[in-house]
């Protein structure tokens, strides 16, 4: 088998066998296939497409490039959730304590923020002392002690994905559903889980802005998980505005604690409960999603979920006092309001722009190497459908530097569409794909 022939095959819209995909991925990971051949193949795959069998083979080959975390020493079912990312999307830090408190194991390997989206690891690191770089041994220990643990990708997990992703980033071959699916699923399936709940965002703040693209990605991911013997469901959820009131890092931790206390914004609580309910159902902890919902509510109302969050912070080296005293979290020095230019109803937002504005203020990265200011953030006072008066505050901007402040606030102001008529209201959860035992 020769890489040049496989490139030609995909170029001419051919379908690869599992052996051919294995040859490409293992050869590239070992360094036998050079970057330039992989780059040509990636572009051919992006433009010609990959079918479901090819995507499964690619996912599996990338998974097999590294180790699968062995969680067999831990009792019970292991479940996780993956979100395709958005602005203010912090459900991981709410549902993991809920589901762990409810008796399942949640081995969560997360990523960092890039571009307009936040990353779970970055949010956690706003907690003083919190260590997201545990060894696999420590990861297992924390999981055993509190039912959840939160770490970053290790060198053992899907090294092929790491290498291929870097190449895709520099060759404009990111935006392909098959390649995206394989990248996500190879890492998630390496967690040694039994079931996976997917939150596929769609709307102006999502990678998949069009619902049809989100649905297609969701279908491919659910099918890939099921082919590999994992239970899976995907919720297509709205990302036309930030989730919850907070976007940033330490302010999102504060909001998670609020939801775990039984307060916090309704949209964030509802979605966290719904995703938890599906995790309970697929993890066979509840006989139905409805029962899972009740269990999730119980874990919040009893305070057990909050105690699990406190415990995991402690076990991973963080300061657990932040649970009761959020002023221990980093905060920005200054605040400024973005106000409404006139009265009316908020009809829509260009949600991605909020993420970009946050990054401008230091709360996001343009390049992987960039640092993060955990204290800066945006606080949203109004949601789509709300009425605002002229000069009423839309967003409070928490900032440390005035460097790009003007640019950022202008961007935020321009991202609201305010009109005379209230817009029709849409559901937060738009569609559910999969979910039946695969």
Residues that bind a second copy (CB under 8 A): 4-5, 7-8, 11, 34-40, 42-44, 46-48, 167, 169-173
Using the minimum distance from each CB to a second copy, give the nearer residue, 170 or 263: 170
CA nearest to 325, candidates 192, 128, 150: 128
CA nearest to 188, candidates 134, 224, 217, 142: 224
Do residues 401 and 362 make contact, with C-beta atoms less than 8 angstroms apart?
yes
Find the helix packing angle between 304-315 and 92-101, rounded to 10°.
110
Distance of alpha carbon 25 from its chain centroid, rounded? 25
Using the minimum distance from each CB to a second copy, give the nearer residue, 40 or 124: 40
Closest approach, Cβ 41 to a second copy, in A, equals 8
Using the minimum distance from each CB to a second copy, give the nearer residue, 212 or 420: 212
Closest approach, Cβ 375 to a second copy, in A, equals 31
CA nearest to 201, candidates 233, 239, 163: 239
In 102-239, where does DSSP find H-type helix?
A: 120-124, 136-146, 159-170, 177-189, 211-227
Closest approach, Cβ 44 to a second copy, in A, equals 5
Pairwise CA distance, residues 182 & 179, whole Å: 5
Closest approach, Cβ 256 to a second copy, in A, equals 35
Using the minimum distance from each CB to a second copy, give the nearer residue, 20 or 191: 20
Say if strands 344-349 and 387-388 run parallel, antiparallel, or are unpaired. antiparallel
Do residues 20 and 45 make contact, with C-beta atoms less than 8 angstroms apart?
no
Closest approach, Cβ 43 to a second copy, in A, equals 4
Which residues are known to be catalytic? 82, 161, 168, 183, 187
Pairwise CA distance, residues 322 & 141, whole Å: 23
């Amino acid at each position: 088998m020769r890489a040049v022939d496989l490139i030609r095959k995909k170029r001419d819209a051919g379908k690869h066998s599992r052996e051919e995909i294995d040859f490409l991925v293992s050869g590239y990971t070992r360094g036998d296939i050079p970057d330039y051949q992989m780059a040509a193949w990636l572009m051919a795959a992006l433009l010609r497409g990959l079918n479901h069998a090819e995507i499964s083979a690619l996912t599996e080959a990338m998974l097999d490039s590294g180790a699968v975390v062995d969680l067999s020493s831990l009792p019970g079912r292991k479940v996780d959730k993956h979100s395709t990312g958005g602005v203010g999307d912090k459900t991981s830090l709410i549902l993991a304590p809920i589901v762990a408190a409810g008796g399942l194991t949640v081995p969560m390997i997360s990523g960092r923020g890039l571009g307009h989206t936040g990353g779970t690891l970055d949010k956690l690191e706003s907690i003083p002392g919190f260590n997201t770089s545990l060894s696999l041994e420590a990861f297992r220990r924390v999981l055993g002690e509190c039912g959840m643990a939160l770490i970053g990708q290790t060198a053992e997990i899907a090294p092929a994905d790491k290498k291929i992703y870097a190449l895709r980033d520099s060759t404009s071959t990111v935006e392909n559903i098959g390649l995206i699916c394989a990248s996500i699923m190879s890492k998630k399936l390496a967690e040694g889980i039994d079931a996976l709940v997917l939150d596929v965002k769609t709307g102006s703040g999502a990678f998949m802005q069009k619902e049809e693209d989100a649905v297609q990605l969701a279908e491919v991911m659910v099918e890939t998980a099921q082919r590999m013997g994992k239970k899976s469901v995907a919720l297509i959820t709205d990302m036309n505005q930030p989730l919850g009131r907070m976007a940033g890092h330490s302010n999102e931790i504060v909001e998670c604690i609020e939801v775990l206390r039984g307060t916090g914004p309704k949209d964030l609580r509802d979605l966290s409960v719904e995703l938890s309910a599906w995790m309970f159902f697929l993890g066979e902890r509840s006989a139905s999603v409805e029962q899972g919902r009740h269990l999730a509510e119980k874990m919040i109302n009893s305070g057990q979920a909050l105690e699990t969050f406190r415990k995991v912070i402690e076990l991973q080296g963080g300061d657990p006092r932040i649970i009761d005293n959020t002023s221990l979290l980093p905060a920005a020095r200054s605040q400024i309001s973005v106000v409404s230019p006139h009265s009316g109803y908020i009809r829509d937002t260009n949600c991605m722009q909020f993420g970009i504005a946050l990054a401008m203020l230091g709360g996001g990265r343009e390049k992987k190497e960039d640092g993060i200011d955990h204290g800066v953030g945006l606080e949203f006072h109004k949601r789509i459908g709300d009425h605002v008066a002229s000069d009423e505050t839309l967003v409070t901007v928490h900032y440390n530097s005035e460097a790009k402040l003007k640019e950022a606030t202008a961007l935020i102001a321009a991202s609201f569409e305010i009109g005379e008529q209230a817009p029709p209201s849409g559901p937060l959860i738009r569609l559910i794909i999969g979910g039946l035992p695969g």
